[in-house]
Structure 1
Amino acid sequence: MKFVSTLSEADQADLTAVYRSGPSHRQRQRAQAVLLSAQGYTLDQLSQIVQTDFRRSCKQTFADRANRLSQIVQTDAATISRWLDQWKEHGLPGLSDAPKSGRPRKIDAVVEAHLRDVLQNPTPNLKAALEDALEKKGSK
């Protein structure tokens, strides 16, 4: 059975901070799963738990917590298992979303910085400024 072993006080504090005010819903949900796994919840139980009040759940017995689960999430045990693996392997950064794929950028960071500068200080001839930026890139 997969679970997270006892958390250090620092890890618990970091995870609790992410759970309470993390930058994305998915990251908060993953932090919650790691915290509850450390409390002894199984993968099947974790796949049903969502946003239960963590402070209240810490004061309850295992049976009370299991009986008082208030909301259900559509997340299967395999997904939670992957979250726990990410936590064990990478710690807190492992709970963040991976970079998404997409169309490659058409301009690099240098050209983007130049364009931002041009747009912050517009010139009467925007076309000339854009052509200048493209020349810096090396293509027209």
Structure 2
Amino acid sequence: MCEHHSSRRARMRAFALIQSHNGYTIKKIAAMFDVHRQAVAYWIDRWEERGLTGLFDEPREGRPLKL
């Protein structure tokens, strides 16, 4: 359950942004976190547009997962 917690995901995104700042390519960062490179590009875009709040997941519609 902890692996999908919003705080964990925000920390992961923050670390990815630090790696980007340190010169890592989007492709390399995507490989580090085993995500698609478009996801990393989206994280960077959200950071540039929204700052800190861009690191957190947006509310989703529907019933929350129980597990």
TM-score by length of 1: 0.39
1:82 matched residue in structure 2: 42
Q: Aligned partners of 1:102 and 1:47: how far apart in 2? A: 28
The structure with more helix, counted as a fraction of residues: 2
Query: RCO higher in 1 or 2 (8 Å CA, sep ≥ 6)?
Result: 2
Unmatched segments (≥5 aa) in structure 2: 1-5
1:101 and 1:46 map into 2 onto residues whose CA distance is 29
Name the larger-Rg structure.
1
- Matched residues, percent identical? 38
Cα offsets for 1:58-77 (capped at 9, x unmatched): xxxxxxxxxxxxxxx32011
Q: Calculate the TM-score normalised by the size of structure 2.
A: 0.79
Using the alignment, how far apart are the partners of 1:46 and 1:40 within structure 2? 10
Q: What does residue 28 of structure 1 align with?
A: 11
For structure 1, the residue ranges without an aligned partner over 5 or more in a row are 1-22, 50-72, 104-140
How many residue pairs get matched?
A: 58
